[in-house]
């Protein structure tokens, strides 16, 4: 009976959290500008209610009783133990603090939207500083052993520390830089044909077809337009994606659809009967990102995927692509060069976009970098790591939505996800007969079924490290990514 009461309580908490998520989805997709003030209040109220449910003494009582119950199954005990850890952490924050954070996030997001549109960082700066200050308070309340950043990273990647990420990046960067130096010395593929006019509606229809081919269930989701592509879930039966379409750049829509589709497939594959429980949630943000990056890069940027899809794309854009051979198309969308925008970066220089953000976040959380000085620090790191000058705020420090959401501690999971993706994909190829041949004929179900069995249905009862070792037999190793990248780009660039 106690476990049933515990389950019902967590499901009520999930109801409130998903209702709040629905308001956030609407805020980014449909909400009129004048709705911002009321929406901030609504979300703060729901955040407060959710916090009260998550820290309620009655839940603490259920947890205490269940931890002493020897009749629980292994799955039930894992759920309770994970909830106990979260209960302890959430009780370190007052409802007032949670509501203040929610209000600051709503105000920050609205300011970011205007600031990015107007290329005016001054609009966002005070809102960002407020969020930085609140995040530093959050860190102090949560507590940490080594670095304040660890408390934030634990929200997205439990058990991983700033030192772990820094060590991984430090070991990863030399091999990546060596590969990039070889690529930059080689002749670049021509990608000028991507910069023609591509009708928005035609692109949209093609993106829908790509999502369907991947296995995205439109009876359990939908796609819309937003300033920054994202995926949101209200349970495995309602998982929504957004994309961004540029009529002057075909690649934005393609990679947004495939990337967000990968996230959505994970959410649609979580155990439906475990709604609200840890066993019904994703393992971590890095594992989540491994799913989107696996579909975007290992599948979506492969030649085999386009052997099937390119003729259909050509049929829609015959004037623009009719005379462009598949090989030229494949090399063009795998062109590697430093760029300003993270979301449209190639899969190699992408990691330096992440490293830059990780290092800036560390400084903000430490208190050695203020919002006022952030643009200068941002621009300096882009010059140092990618050798490019940042021309304006919108293409620089204002390009990502994450900090306006208060999402600090998040960015490193993007690179971790890419490394996990390469390792998972290598394992899938070794276990699923004819996998890459199937993909080349438009059959992605064998891959999706493998991911469902190995990762999606596991919920959040394992850590990222445990999932990686369970799936591949080894801990995370950047070697898999570097082997994949060296082979692929050696063939494309001829070295």
49 has pLDDT over 70: yes
| Contact status, residue 197 vs residue 390, Cβ threshold 8 Å | no
pLDDT tens profile 19-35: 999 999 999 999 998 99
Confidence of residue 379 (pLDDT cuts 50, 70, 90): very high
Domains in the chain: ranges and CATH: 2-143 (no CATH), 162-202+233-238+245-252+262-493 (1.10.1370.30)
Residue 408 CB partners (closer than 8 Å, separation 6+): 131, 132, 135, 152, 361, 364, 365, 402
Confidence of residue 1 (pLDDT cuts 50, 70, 90): low
Interatomic CA distance for residues 484 and 104, integer angstroms: 42
Residue 246 CB partners (closer than 8 Å, separation 6+): 252, 253
Per 3-state DSSP, the chain is made up of helix, strand and coil in percentages (nearest 5) of 70, 5, 30
pLDDT tens profile 98-123: 999 999 999 999 999 999 999 999 99
* Count of other CB atoms within 10 angstroms of residue 323: 10
Interatomic CA distance for residues 194 and 92, integer angstroms: 51
Q: Please, what's the b/e burial string for 218-253 (b: 16 or more CB within 10 A of its CB; e: otherwise)?
A: eebbebebbebbbbbbbbbebbbbbbbbeeebbbbb
* Count of other CB atoms within 10 angstroms of residue 161: 18
Distance, CA of 64 to chain centre: 34
Task: Say what the pLDDT of residue 228 is.
Answer: 83
What DSSP state is assigned to residue 190? P
* DSSP line for 334-354: T-----S-GGGS-TTTHHHHH
Choose the weakest-confidence range: 226-230, 401-405, 420-424. Answer: 226-230
Q: Please, what's the b/e burial string for 75-89 (b: 16 or more CB within 10 A of its CB; e: otherwise)?
A: ebbbbbebbbeebeb
Confidence of residue 461 (pLDDT cuts 50, 70, 90): confident
Kindly state the average pLDDT of the residues 459-475: 93
Task: Say what the pLDDT of residue 116 is.
Answer: 97
Kindly state the average pLDDT of the residues 324-350: 95
Residues designated as active site: 260
Confidence of residue 294 (pLDDT cuts 50, 70, 90): very high
62 has pLDDT over 80: yes
132 has pLDDT over 70: yes
For 380, the token pair is 């300096």
pLDDT tens profile 229-249: 999 999 999 999 999 999 999
Q: From the CA atom positions of the chain, what is the Rg in Å?
A: 22
Task: Say what the pLDDT of residue 459 is.
Answer: 86
Kindly state the average pLDDT of the residues 71-78: 95
Task: Say what the pLDDT of residue 204 is.
Answer: 97
pLDDT tens profile 249-266: 999 999 999 999 999 999
Mean model confidence pLDDT for the chain: 95
Task: Say what the pLDDT of residue 159 is.
Answer: 87
Task: Say what the pLDDT of residue 124 is.
Answer: 98
Task: Say what the pLDDT of residue 458 is.
Answer: 86
Of 411, 356, 406, the C-alpha closest to 132 is: 406
The model's pTM: 0.92
């Amino acid at each position: 009976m106690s476990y049933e009461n515990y389950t019902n309580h967590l499901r009520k908490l999930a109801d409130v959290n998903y209702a709040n998520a629905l308001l956030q989805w609407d805020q980014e997709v449909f909400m009129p500008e004048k709705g911002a003030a009321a929406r901030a209040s609504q979300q703060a109220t729901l955040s407060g209610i959710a916090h009260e449910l998550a820290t309620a003494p009655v839940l603490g009582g259920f947890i205490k009783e269940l931890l002493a119950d020897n009749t629980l199954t292994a799955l039930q005990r894992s759920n309770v133990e994970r909830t106990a850890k979260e209960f302890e952490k959430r009780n370190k924050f007052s409802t007032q603090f949670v509501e203040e954070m929610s209000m600051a996030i709503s105000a920050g997001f609205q300011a970011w939207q205007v600031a990015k549109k107007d290329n005016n960082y001054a609009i966002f700066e005070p809102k960002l500083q407020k969020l930085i200050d609140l995040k530093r308070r959050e860190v102090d309340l949560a507590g940490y052993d080594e670095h304040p950043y660890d408390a934030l990273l634990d929200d997205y990647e439990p058990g991983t520390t700033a030192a772990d990420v820094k060590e991984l990046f430090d070991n990863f960067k030399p091999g990546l830089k060596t590969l990039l130096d070889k690529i930059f010395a080689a002749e670049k593929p021509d990608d000028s044909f991507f910069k023609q006019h591509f009708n928005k509606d035609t692109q949209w229809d093609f993106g829908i077809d790509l999502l369907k081919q991947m296995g995205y269930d439109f009876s359990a989701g939908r796609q819309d337009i937003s300033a920054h592509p994202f995926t949101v879930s209200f349970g495995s039966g309602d998982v929504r994606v957004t994309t961004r379409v540029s009529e002057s750049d075909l690649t934005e829509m393609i990679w947004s659809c495939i990337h967000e589709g990968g996230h959505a497939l994970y959410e649609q594959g979580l155990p439906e009967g475990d709604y609200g429980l840890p066993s019904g949630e994703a393992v971590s943000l890095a594992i989540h990102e491994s799913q989107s990056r696996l579909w975007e890069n290992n599948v979506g940027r492969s030649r085999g995927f386009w052997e099937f899809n390119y003729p259909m794309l050509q049929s829609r854009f015959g004037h623009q692509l009719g005379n462009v051979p598949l090989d030229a198309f494949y090399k063009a969308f795998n062109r590697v060069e430093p760029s300003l925008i993270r979301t449209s970066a190639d899969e190699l220089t992408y990691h330096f976009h992440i490293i830059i953000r990780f290092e800036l976040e560390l400084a903000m959380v430490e208190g050695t970098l203020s919002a006022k000085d952030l643009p200068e620090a941002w621009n300096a790191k882009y010059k140092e790591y990618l050798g490019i000058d940042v021309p304006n705020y919108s293409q620089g420090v204002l390009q990502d939505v994450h900090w306006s959401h208060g999402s600090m501690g998040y960015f490193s999971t993007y690179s971790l996800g890419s490394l996990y993706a390469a390792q998972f994909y290598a394992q899938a190829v070794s276990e699923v007969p004819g996998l890459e041949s199937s993909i080349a004929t438009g059959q992605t179900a064998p891959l999706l079924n493998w991911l469902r069995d190995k990762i999606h249905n596991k919920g959040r009862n394992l850590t990222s490290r445990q999932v990686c070792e369970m799936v591949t037999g080894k801990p995370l190793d950047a070697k898999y990514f570097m082997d994949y990248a060296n082979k692929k780009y050696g063939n494309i660039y001829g070295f």
